[in-house]
Amino acid sequence: MEEISDNTASQASDLCRVVKANEDIKKVIRISSGVNLVALNAMLTAKRSGERSRGFAVVSSELRVFSRKLEGAMTGLGALIFELVRDAAAMRKQHHERRHLLNIQARGQQMRELMEPVLARMDERMHKTGGEIGRDWHRLHIQLNRVLQLCETGGSLSRSAKIEAVYGGDMTATLKQVANQIEETVNEIFSTLKLLRTQLAE
C-alpha cells in the first residue's frame, strides 16, 4: 500500500512527461511535412537541370519516400502518446478514488475491516494500470529508436544529395542550396528526436 501512495509524484510526472514528449513529437511532425516540400522542390530543380542531375532526381524521390515513412512513424508515436495519456489519466482517477476510500478506512477498526477488500481490489487495479503505463513507456522507447534509425536514412540521403549536386553543371549552385536545405531539415529532426530520447530517459 505504501508503495502506491508514494507513487503520487511519479503519476504527476507521468502526465507532465507525456505532455512534454508530445510537444516534441508535434514539432517533428511539423518539420517532416516540411521535408516533403523540400523533396518536391529538389525533384523539380533536378528536372529543370535535365540529364546531368539524374542522380539528384533519384535522391530526391528517395527523400519523398523517406518523408512519407517518417510521417507514418511519427503518427505511430502519436498513437502511443495517446495511450499513455489515457493510462496516466486513469491512474490519476484511481488514485483520487483511493484517497476517498482511505479517508473512510482511517475512521476506526470497523471501517478498516469494511474497506480492506475494497482497497485490495483498488490496489490490484492500480497495479494493473501501473504495469500498463510501464509497457506504454517501453513501447514508446522502441518506436522512438525505430524513428531514429529511419532518420539515419535521411542523413545519408542528405549526404548523397550534396555529392550529386556537384555533378550538376551550371545548376550546381542551385542543387547545392537544395541539398543544404535537406541537410538542415534532417538535422533538425534528428536533434529534436535525440532531445526527446534524453527527456524520456530521465
Partner 1 sequence: MKKLEYIYEDGSHKWAAVARDPEKPGFLIDTNEYLVLNGGEALLADPGGMEIFSAVFSAISAEVDPYTIRHLFASHQDPDVISSLALWLDFNPELKCYLSWLWSSFIPHFGGTAETFVAIPDEGMTIPLGNLALEAIPAHYLHSSGNFNLYDRKAKILFSGDVGAALLPSGEDGLFVENFDRHISHAQGFHRRWMGSNAAKLNWCERVSRLDIDMLCPQHGAIYRGEDVKRFIDWFAALDVGSGIKE
Taking CB under 8 A as the criterion, the residue among 89, 114, 150, 200 binding partner 1 is 114
Site string for partner 1, 116-135 (x = CB under 8 A): --x--xx-------------
Stretch touching partner 1 by CB under 8 A, among 30-38, 46-54, 95-103, 136-144? 95-103
Q: Which three cell numbers stand for residue 163?
A: 555529392
Q: How many residues bind partner 1 (CB under 8 A)?
A: 13
Contact with partner 1 (CB under 8 A) among 110, 170, 198, 202: 110
Among 5, 33, 75, 103, binds partner 1 (CB under 8 A): 103
Question: How far is residue 111's CA from residue 106's CA, in Å, rounded to a whole number?
Answer: 7
d(CA 37, CA 64): 9
- Cα–Cα distance, 119 to 101 (Å, whole number): 7
C-beta of 100 vs 202, nearer to partner 1: 100
Q: For partner 1, which residue of 15, 29, 101, 148 counts as binding (CB under 8 A)?
A: 101
Q: How far is CA 142 from the centre of its chain?
A: 10
Q: Is 107 a binder of partner 1 (CB under 8 A)?
A: yes
Site for partner 1 in 7-66 (CB under 8 A): none
Is 189 an interacting residue with respect to partner 1 (CB under 8 A)? no
- Tell me how crowded residue 20 is: count the other CB atoms within 10 A of its CB: 16
Contacts 24+ apart (CB under 8 A), 144-147: 144/77, 144/193, 144/196, 144/197, 144/200, 145/197, 146/73, 147/28, 147/70, 147/73, 147/74, 147/77, 147/193
Using CB under 8 A, list all residues that contact partner 1: 93, 97, 100-101, 103-104, 107, 110-111, 114, 118, 121-122
